[in-house]
Amino acid sequence: MATQSLVDIRTFSPKFQHLYATLKDFVENDCMPAEKVFEAQLGQGENRWKVVPPIMEELKTKARSLGLWNLFLTKEYPEGAGLSNLEYALMAEVMGRSLHIASEACNCSAPDTGNMEVFAKYGTPAQKEKWLKPLLDGKIRSAFAMTEKKVASSDATNIETSIQRVGNEYVINGLKWWISGAGDPRCAVYLVMGKSDPKNKEKHRQQSLIIVPADTPGITVVRPMTVFGYDDAPEGHCEILFKDVRVPVENMVLGEGRGFEVIQGRLGPGRIHHCMRCIGVAERALDLLLARVTDPSRRTFGKLLAEHGTVVADIAKSRMDIDQARFLVLNAAKRIDEVKAKGAMKEIGMAKAVVPTMLLTVLDRAMQAHGAGGVSQDFILARSYAQARTLRYADGPDEVHIAQIGKVELRRAAEVTKSLEKQRERSYALITGKAKL
Amino acid sequence: MATQSLVDIRTFSPKFQHLYATLKDFVENDCMPAEKVFEAQLGQGENRWKVVPPIMEELKTKARSLGLWNLFLTKEYPEGAGLSNLEYALMAEVMGRSLHIASEACNCSAPDTGNMEVFAKYGTPAQKEKWLKPLLDGKIRSAFAMTEKKVASSDATNIETSIQRVGNEYVINGLKWWISGAGDPRCAVYLVMGKSDPKNKEKHRQQSLIIVPADTPGITVVRPMTVFGYDDAPEGHCEILFKDVRVPVENMVLGEGRGFEVIQGRLGPGRIHHCMRCIGVAERALDLLLARVTDPSRRTFGKLLAEHGTVVADIAKSRMDIDQARFLVLNAAKRIDEVKAKGAMKEIGMAKAVVPTMLLTVLDRAMQAHGAGGVSQDFILARSYAQARTLRYADGPDEVHIAQIGKVELRRAAEVTKSLEKQRERSYALITGKAKL
Amino acid sequence: MATQSLVDIRTFSPKFQHLYATLKDFVENDCMPAEKVFEAQLGQGENRWKVVPPIMEELKTKARSLGLWNLFLTKEYPEGAGLSNLEYALMAEVMGRSLHIASEACNCSAPDTGNMEVFAKYGTPAQKEKWLKPLLDGKIRSAFAMTEKKVASSDATNIETSIQRVGNEYVINGLKWWISGAGDPRCAVYLVMGKSDPKNKEKHRQQSLIIVPADTPGITVVRPMTVFGYDDAPEGHCEILFKDVRVPVENMVLGEGRGFEVIQGRLGPGRIHHCMRCIGVAERALDLLLARVTDPSRRTFGKLLAEHGTVVADIAKSRMDIDQARFLVLNAAKRIDEVKAKGAMKEIGMAKAVVPTMLLTVLDRAMQAHGAGGVSQDFILARSYAQARTLRYADGPDEVHIAQIGKVELRRAAEVTKSLEKQRERSYALITGKAKL
Amino acid sequence: MATQSLVDIRTFSPKFQHLYATLKDFVENDCMPAEKVFEAQLGQGENRWKVVPPIMEELKTKARSLGLWNLFLTKEYPEGAGLSNLEYALMAEVMGRSLHIASEACNCSAPDTGNMEVFAKYGTPAQKEKWLKPLLDGKIRSAFAMTEKKVASSDATNIETSIQRVGNEYVINGLKWWISGAGDPRCAVYLVMGKSDPKNKEKHRQQSLIIVPADTPGITVVRPMTVFGYDDAPEGHCEILFKDVRVPVENMVLGEGRGFEVIQGRLGPGRIHHCMRCIGVAERALDLLLARVTDPSRRTFGKLLAEHGTVVADIAKSRMDIDQARFLVLNAAKRIDEVKAKGAMKEIGMAKAVVPTMLLTVLDRAMQAHGAGGVSQDFILARSYAQARTLRYADGPDEVHIAQIGKVELRRAAEVTKSLEKQRERSYALITGKAKL
């Protein structure tokens, strides 16, 4: 992070400063060089879904030994690293610099993070023992099965998957898609959102969230979805059919009809984690842009790219865009520390509405300077673009966040109107001499 | 095309109107349904580069029988369909609606089109017989090998591949990449740009363009490049190593040192072809957007997407963006008809600088309304986005076109300044009574 | 106008070409130099509203003698110059180059133009004799009193001014503002919109339009409004109180309850006239920009402004923005020729939604290059900016036009959806072998 | 200010919190109501430049009594209020809410602030006694005469005004314009920038800054310039001719040839003061927008404006734009506290490049919701727009700031390139097994 006076790392605890420096070093010297290694080790054809590049597990071992582990579980979780949200925001930015490697290496990658939060917050001791422990240890991975193909599931009340109690079991039927991580051979468990009480008059009490082991009979992984051509193997984003899938009643999370409550609790910090990492991606894109436009082998018409005024302007705008967006994210993180995610919904929403679009803009500028290379597998730019693009609708599309921010602002309207009225009256009184300063 | 008063198809020749209607029908009823067929027939793994989906050859047969063949070769070419550039622009928009299928089905797809133009314009009778004929017949395909990995080849004077005469042969050495079409098993010939006279003081006389059969020894296809995550098999965009590749001197195009001249002649109409098709892609994206936001199964928060004001605004803006951009393209096409591509450089440049960005904007709006589906293989949107993105640097990056347009405008500055001066003088004379109206 | 292949003046009638050339000459050599004369002759203080700079009447005399008179009254009006709307669009662009002078000089300035159209279309012979004739002769001026201070009168059904019949008279009461032209000493007549039947169940039958001579007792011009800081004297934009203003029943236009019908008829071409002129303003702004950035006395840091890449890009973008917008306007004008204003509502709306914003952008770039001079009285830029800004809400705010264009597009949704469905079915049939090409 | 976690006023000293609350109250209850009073008391015609509305002096008296005086003079100046730059930034935002009144009322308005800084920093005891004291007391006002009509004075080396020593006097000749405040009857002194040594090889040693009493013979105020249509009386922005104006040698500031040094020192904080106030203006514009769109008398087509999705989006975007920009400003202010203005040039430049454009955007949205009212004298929007527009070129045009920020970023390029190279090497070593994690 460029020096920022408002959030100056030199004012943080020595312990945090040390951890931050350790992470920077790890990301720079291990994760970033590991990216091409990971690609080289990835399987071909069907093996893309069977092979986890060994470098990843090596990185995890190293990260854990460095204390760079489960950083996302902030202070309120005894299982975590004890960071504040603001501190984690700063760490997540650093991890974002090696987006496809560092988060997983530090056991801080979605959807596991959100799922671990769910288990930690709402799990029974047995659920925690069975699922949270191996997740915290990085032994297994998990998926969150919410989005459905046939409905607009950005409005979660539209979800149609049924979770029906039959005796001591719940029977699950439904078609989900975009279930991230479900392609991974290490993915052992799904958290499945469905309707257990579709006729409940309270629309937000119809849903339940249930734990489904990945090897339960009745589950078919139909196909991996692609994001701009990327399948993101081995994790993938899968279309999954649940047909008469049965799990014991103990697998219910928190209780029937409380699915909405759980996902609300899950979403807040998760949204901001993406934003935090995005800042790091943007900084890396800007770095790549700087390197490219000063590359002496890339002269055109007798000039370095960096000698063209429009290129310099692109660089400056990127710096300004990134710095502004970072403040929004850090502010939201600090606000979560102060008043929890629920109280910080506006600040979180603002970060969520601003950051992905900012990142896309910065990536696009960097791509343009790279020409054909920029859209290819030789740089992280196009792949990051594809991933960032999904953040404009994932966890709520931009439009929804923007509408909510607008509504929150509009709550001030009555008070503002009253104060304008008062000013008008006083103004009139001053002009007519009926009042004095 | 929505009815446009300035370019009204009803005022064109009956023959053209018939051909236009035939093409619309073919694209709508054959090409668009064939898209998923093509994908289903595409090979997996290594076979992606060995199998050409049979549906394509079937479409070609049908297109040819309908007279929808080699439409891009305008009036001045005896081998072509006799259209004007304006007429072809209208046809290309229709083909653009099924971007990945229709152009090839009608033997109108890049890079073959540009290569055929080169052979038709500059080829010797023997070269025409050997390469142009099978290309015109759609029997073989071809590639254009210009871009190089190590240099900024958007400035073609940077090219480093050497073409050296040794006896009755030319020996070619160099590393090219982004050679589109070179992955296709039908690709039989490359047109290779290189330096035959690197020390010539005239920088634009150093280059030659030479014909290289694809099976010449010394050629290695190193790897396919990806555009975002797409490999665009079976055509592909390949990195190719030329190592001591030898061809007979008869393979030189036009003459040693005339490479620049040839690519200049090749580029003009080619640039505009892309733009023409882009308009069609944009119209299809808008169609998809309309269908999506009125899909009754996609209600959120009790409303169709089409009932949200911001969505309606997105639709309106897309309509306005498309219509404006189309006029630029049609105007450039008509100008080519009037004064040839060279005289229409400003109009071509304006279309090239405006249209791809417009298309990206329209596609992005459509994607956003589709949520996760929009970035996936289930719709053409993300793939079209990836392809359109390449047009912002291919055949000259936006920045170069914009700089050139600016320079052309600036040529008017002296005259404008003189006229302002004259007005100031007359104004002064009128105020002081020294002149009358 | 820069040469445009799609609308090539050389293909127009010789008579029009002559008129066009005459107007260009008049605007360039008389109107533009007259601008500073007009300002110099304008009164100070109260006299701003009493003195009409004599240069204007001189220009009118000259314009009339040149046949440049009432050009806006197109073919269907026997009183007019017999131009088509497309031809007038081209002429209006030229007049727009000297926005504050040329239109009035040619008796083609709002609001007189719209008012003359009303009289010509809907006036009784007596009304025509009394008001249309002197307006056509440029002897008097007029105003259109619709906008009201207390309501959102962009929705005309909100209007509250009352027009009540009492015996053989109508009595008018209401508070209007932004009545353009009402400050002019030559303004002899208002067309006043109000409610004659406020309880009519048909919301669009409540309104009437009535003729009110400017000297009728009961009228108070409360104050001139300013646009940014401009009062636009002597015409002005006035707040006007109508208190028990009485006019004979013969002053009703078309009939009681038909006010909406009249203003609908009035608006169509009027909207496009503004757009036409805006193109001319934008061209002039670009001219000023070109002159400024090549002014050798304006070097900064050793370079002409024109040598900075971002400035060149601004010029290029302006050229592209203007040309695209012009096509929308010309297309709308041609469409009016073909199917009348009512049938061309979408095309008119698109021009209206695009052009003023385009002009503001171009003006802003030109201002920026002029530094402080750009916002001052020394150039037309800031004043044009202020005026253009009003066009983003006048005659319907951008938002309303955009919403309507979106709605018109959405009418295609059902058909598009059907056609997509058909394609999906055929695709499936082709894949499964149940259909053939 | 909306609650901002990163800069939380509750963590500031109680003394500051009290002062902040006092200022808020004063601005809200005295300054804002006084705006219309000021306008009403302003003279007409020539008197606009002769009459200072009495309300202003009353406000000054009250402000001083409340301790709201000379707040801009931060800690390092013994004469000031002892605030840090960060604290002043927060105060300036509040003053910005009543842009045309509050700053002057608190003796914190440009150009006096910068001039007082000059006197405080560089003045001799005699200069301080004569000019700084009455300025600090708000008894007189001052102007800064730098910009020249004939040259691009945004590059200060272009300045042509001559300051020539003749005996014990300096003789000044030159034509300045846009001298803000020079129209005010209270304006007693100018600081004039000119060339005392035009042939000095060091381009930045040619200039001197000299004190010129406003009543010195040889000074002619040629005319007031207008900004859009505003003359900003009584202060004004004047064109001033200096013809053989003579002042004693004691009037030189700091020393001959040190003019550049002085203006460099003057500019840093001044630039940021404008930005600080702009945030306040933007907040007020957003308030006005909120009030307008919820005004029940402004329904269109059956809906409040606030019920239109695009309006809600405008509100949300304004909130996000403002908050992001505010962080940049506060960050720059804090950075000045830490490393002085010179060390904070990048942060200051970023604020300067971002904030005025942000404010224009927010004002434009608010204007659009106000329709015609928005551009008129009835709201502060249009006048604020005009003023904000000048900040895009004043104290360095956007382009210059952007180019400088880009250049500062580019300084990192070499290091970035080295680090990328290192990563590539390590990546290769990891793949080939030559290195381990």
Q: What is the pLDDT of residues D46-105, one digit of tens each?
A: 899 999 999 999 999 999 999 999 999 999 898 889 999 999 999 999 999 999 999 999
Residue B152: the pLDDT is 85
Q: Which of D152, D371, D375 sits opposite C227 (nearest CB)?
A: D375
Rounded distance between C-alpha atoms, residue B395 and residue A298, angstroms: 17
Under CATH, to which class is D261-412 assigned? mainly alpha
Sign of the CA dihedral running B292, B293, B299, B300? positive
Question: What are A68-88's pLDDT values in tens digits?
Answer: 999 999 998 988 899 999 999
Helix (H, G, I), strand (E, B) or coil at D413: helix
Amino acid type, C421:
E
- CA D288, D290, D294: angle at the middle one, nearest 5? 115
Say if residue D36's pLDDT is above 70.
Answer: yes
What would the mean pLDDT of C412-418 be, rounded to a whole number?
98
Record: contact C229-D227, CB cut-off 8 A: yes
Residue C270: the pLDDT is 82
What would the mean pLDDT of D281-293 be, rounded to a whole number?
98
Question: CA of B381: which chain A residue's CA is closest?
Answer: A228
Residue A1: the pLDDT is 53
Evaluate whether A261 touches A254 at the Cβ level (below 8 Å): yes
Listed in sequence order, the residues at least 6 apart from C116 whose beta carbon sits closer than 8 Å to its beta carbon are C70, C72, C73, C79, C132, C135, C136, C142
Residue B1: the pLDDT is 52
Listed in sequence order, the residues at least 6 apart from D334 whose beta carbon sits closer than 8 Å to its beta carbon are A5, A6, D85, D86
Rounded distance between C-alpha atoms, residue A217 and residue C433, angstroms: 34
Say if residue D1's pLDDT is above 60.
Answer: no
Provide, as residue numbers in chain C, all residues whose Cβ is less than 8 Å from the Cβ of A310: 309-310, 313
Given pLDDT bands bounded at 50, 70 and 90, which one contains residue D167?
very high
Question: CA of C307: which chain A residue's CA is closest?
Answer: A309
Given pLDDT bands bounded at 50, 70 and 90, which one contains residue C276?
very high
Question: CA of B314: which chain D residue's CA is closest?
Answer: D310
Question: What are C183-241's pLDDT values in tens digits?
Answer: 999 999 999 999 999 999 999 999 999 999 999 999 999 999 999 999 999 999 999 99
Extract the runs of DSSP E, i.e. beta strands, from A196-295: 207-213, 219-225, 237-248
Q: Which of A5, A319, A410 sits opposite D294 (nearest CB)?
A: A410
Residue B80: the pLDDT is 87
Q: What is the mean pLDDT of chain D?
A: 95
User: Strand B207-213 relative to strand D162-166: parallel, antiparallel, unpaired?
Assistant: unpaired
Residue A365: the pLDDT is 98
Separation in Å, CA of D223 to nearest CA in chain A: 31
Residue B202: the pLDDT is 95
Residue ranges of chain B with per-residue pLDDT less than 50: 2
Provide, as residue numbers in chain C, all residues whose Cβ is less than 8 Å from the Cβ of A308: 309
What would the mean pLDDT of A318-340 be, rounded to a whole number?
97
Separation in Å, CA of A211 to nearest CA in chain B: 24
Contact partners for chain B, using 3 or more CB pairs closer than 8 A, are A, C, D
Record: contact B324-C319, CB cut-off 8 A: no
Provide, as residue numbers in chain A, all residues whose Cβ is less than 8 Å from the Cβ of C314: none
Provide, as residue numbers in chain C, all residues whose Cβ is less than 8 Å from the Cβ of A309: 308-311
Provide, as residue numbers in chain D, all residues whose Cβ is less than 8 Å from the Cβ of C386: 228-229, 375, 382
- CATH fold, domain A261-396, is Butyryl-CoA Dehydrogenase, subunit A; domain 3 (1.20.140)
Nearest to B405 by CA among B360, B358, B353, B359: B353
Rounded distance between C-alpha atoms, residue B328 and residue A322, angstroms: 35
Under CATH, to which class is D9-110+130-136 assigned? mainly alpha
Question: Domain boundaries in chain D?
Answer: 9-110+130-136, 141-253, 261-412
Record: contact A368-B299, CB cut-off 8 A: no
* Same fold flag, D9-110+130-136 and D141-253: no
Residue D347: the pLDDT is 96
Rounded distance between C-alpha atoms, residue A262 and residue A196, angstroms: 14
Percent of chain C at pLDDT > 90 equals 91
Residue C126: the pLDDT is 98
Rounded distance between C-alpha atoms, residue C39 and residue C383, angstroms: 13
Q: What Å distances lie between residue B65 and B26, B69, B105, CA to CA? A: 11, 8, 11
Provide, as residue numbers in chain B, all residues whose Cβ is less than 8 Å from the Cβ of D309: 308-311
- CATH fold, domain B141-253, is Butyryl-CoA Dehydrogenase, subunit A; domain 2 (2.40.110)
B310, B312, B315, B368: best mutation site toward chain D, by most D Cβ within 10 Å?
B310
Count how many pairs of residues, chain A against chain D, have C-beta atoms within 8 Å.
221
What is this model's ipTM?
0.96
Say if residue C2's pLDDT is above 60.
Answer: no
Question: CA of B149: which chain A residue's CA is closest?
Answer: A373
DSSP calls for B31-42 = IHHHHHHHHHHS
Under CATH, to which class is B261-411 assigned? mainly alpha
Nearest to A225 by CA among A275, A162, A177: A177
Separation in Å, CA of C408 to nearest CA in chain B: 9
Question: What are C370-394's pLDDT values in tens digits?
Answer: 999 999 999 999 999 999 999 999 9
Which two structure tokens, joined as six digits, stand for B176?
A: 């090219």
Rounded distance between C-alpha atoms, residue D254 and residue D251, angstroms: 9
Residue B3: the pLDDT is 59
Rounded distance between C-alpha atoms, residue D58 and residue D37, angstroms: 12
Record: contact A313-C308, CB cut-off 8 A: no
Evaluate whether D386 touches D230 at the Cβ level (below 8 Å): yes
Evaluate whether C188 touches C130 at the Cβ level (below 8 Å): no
Residue C271: the pLDDT is 84
Nearest to B383 by CA among B98, B113, B128: B98
Contact partners for chain C, using 3 or more CB pairs closer than 8 A, are A, B, D
Provide, as residue numbers in chain C, all residues whose Cβ is less than 8 Å from the Cβ of B29: 426
C147, C180, C223, C226: best mutation site toward chain D, by most D Cβ within 10 Å?
C226
Rounded distance between C-alpha atoms, residue D208 and residue D194, angstroms: 6
Listed in sequence order, the residues at least 6 apart from A297 whose beta carbon sits closer than 8 Å to its beta carbon are B150, B151, B152
Say if residue A2's pLDDT is above 60.
Answer: no
Give CATH superfamily name and number for C261-409. Butyryl-CoA Dehydrogenase, subunit A, domain 3 (1.20.140.10)
What would the mean pLDDT of A406-414 be, rounded to a whole number?
97
Question: What are C173-191's pLDDT values in tens digits?
Answer: 999 999 999 999 999 999 9
Count how many pairs of residues, chain C against chain D, have C-beta atoms within 8 Å.
137
Record: contact B300-A392, CB cut-off 8 A: no
Residue B399: the pLDDT is 95
Q: Which of C368, C382, C390 sits opposite D375 (nearest CB)?
A: C390
Question: CA of C309: which chain A residue's CA is closest?
Answer: A309
Say if residue C1's pLDDT is above 60.
Answer: no
Record: contact C308-A308, CB cut-off 8 A: no
Nearest to A389 by CA among C190, B343, B6, B229: B229
B68, B84, B409, B425: best mutation site toward chain C, by most C Cβ within 10 Å?
B409
- For C205-228, letters b (16+ CB in 10 Å) and e give bbbbbbbbebebeebebeebbbbb
Say if residue D2's pLDDT is above 80.
Answer: no
Q: What is the mean pLDDT of chain A?
A: 95
Provide, as residue numbers in chain A, all residues whose Cβ is less than 8 Å from the Cβ of B375: 227-228, 386, 389-390
Residue B423: the pLDDT is 97
Rounded distance between C-alpha atoms, residue C8 and residue B164, angstroms: 50
Provide, as residue numbers in chain D, all residues whose Cβ is less than 8 Å from the Cβ of B309: 308-311
Beta bridge partners of B246: B171
Listed in sequence order, the residues at least 6 apart from B368 whose beta carbon sits closer than 8 Å to its beta carbon are A392, A393, A397, A398, A399, B314, B374
Question: CA of A203: which chain B residue's CA is closest?
Answer: B301
Separation in Å, CA of C308 to nearest CA in chain A: 6
Nearest to B67 by CA among B101, B28, B23: B23
Evaluate whether A422 touches D329 at the Cβ level (below 8 Å): no
DSSP calls for C335-399 = HHHHHHHHHTHHHHHHHHHHHHHHHHHHHHHHHHHHGGGGGSTTSSHHHHHHHHHHTTTTTS-HH
Percent of chain D at pLDDT > 70 equals 99
- CA A331, A335, A336: angle at the middle one, nearest 5? 120
Residue D421: the pLDDT is 97
- Phi, psi at residue D287, to the nearest 5°? -60, -45
Evaluate whether D329 touches D272 at the Cβ level (below 8 Å): yes
Residue D264: the pLDDT is 84
Residue found by looking up tokens 């079976």 in the block? B234
Provide, as residue numbers in chain D, all residues whose Cβ is less than 8 Å from the Cβ of C385: 228
Q: Measured in whole angstroms, how far is the alpha carbon of residue C294 from the centre of its chain?
A: 33
**Which of the listed CATH numbers 1.10.10.10, 3.10.105.10, 3.40.50.300, 1.10.540.10 matches domain B9-136?**
1.10.540.10
Sign of the CA dihedral running C246, C249, C254, C258? positive
Rounded distance between C-alpha atoms, residue B260 and residue D354, angstroms: 44
Provide, as residue numbers in chain D, all residues whose Cβ is less than 8 Å from the Cβ of A318: 409
Record: contact B312-C59, CB cut-off 8 A: no
Record: contact B308-D313, CB cut-off 8 A: no
Question: What are C143-174's pLDDT values in tens digits?
Answer: 999 999 998 887 888 999 999 999 999 999 99
User: Strand C141-145 relative to strand C187-195: parallel, antiparallel, unpaired?
Assistant: parallel
Residue A3: the pLDDT is 58
